[in-house]
Amino acid sequence: MQQSLAMDEAEVRRAITRIAHEIIEKNKGAEHLALIGIRTRGVPLAKRLAQLIAAFEAVEVPVGALDISMYRDDVRTRQRVVGSTDVPFDVTGRRVVLVDEVFYTGRTIRAAMDAIMDLGRPSVIQLAVLVDRGHRELPIRPDYVGKNLPTSRSEEVEVHLKELDGEDAVLLRKPEGI
């Protein structure tokens, strides 16, 4: 596979900062806000957003981690390691922002919404993603996007985060000959 850099460390940082500002603006502050990262890379992104929002608004925003393995519509066709969900707050009545690294077909987000509804009834569910690569299969779209990155179905988007990979970068991987 050929690989190219789609976002470097500075671009990732600016995108996350912009998303934090957009979340504050759209929600008219951070009151009743909660961030829930989808395992695995959505969790550190949610924590970074919460830190930025706290710095901008002087309000601590609770952060949770969501495992959606058992909610996926392809659970029977895939071998998945089930992680853990850790949402240490009541989602009922909150403005919940789901956070994930890449938006693709929408199926992960549909599963995440099902998982959240099992935890309670938020007043609003919004979606923040670092990269939107297109190819929706469901009528779901992100509210906050770090970068729109049009791709073909044969390409892969790989997100690296310092917390897990030692660096911040977004790579676009293409099969040879494309």
Could you read off the pLDDT of 128-158 as tens digits, one per residue? 999 999 999 999 999 999 999 999 999 999 9
CA–CA dist 112, 134 (Å, integer): 18
Output the six-digit token pair for 102: 């890449």
* Section 158-164 average pLDDT: 98
Mean pLDDT across the chain: 94
Q: Strand pairing of 156-160 and 169-174?
A: antiparallel
Q: Which domains does the chain have, with CATH numbers?
A: 9-73+82-152 (3.40.50.2020)
CA–CA dist 104, 89 (Å, integer): 28
Residue 79 has pLDDT above 70, yes or no: no
* Section 48-72 average pLDDT: 96
Token pair 């502050």: residue = 29
Within the chain, strands assigned E span 2-7, 33-38, 63-66, 95-103, 124-132, 144-148, 156-160, 169-174
Q: Which long-range contacts (CB under 8 A, 24 or more apart) does 28-33 make?
A: 29/57, 29/59, 30/54, 30/57, 30/59, 30/61, 31/59, 32/93, 32/94, 32/95, 32/123, 33/59, 33/61, 33/94, 33/95, 33/97
What percent of the chain is predicted at pLDDT more than 70?
A: 95
Residue 76 has pLDDT above 70, yes or no: no
Residue 77 has pLDDT above 70, yes or no: no
CA–CA dist 101, 19 (Å, integer): 12
Residue 112 has pLDDT above 80, yes or no: yes
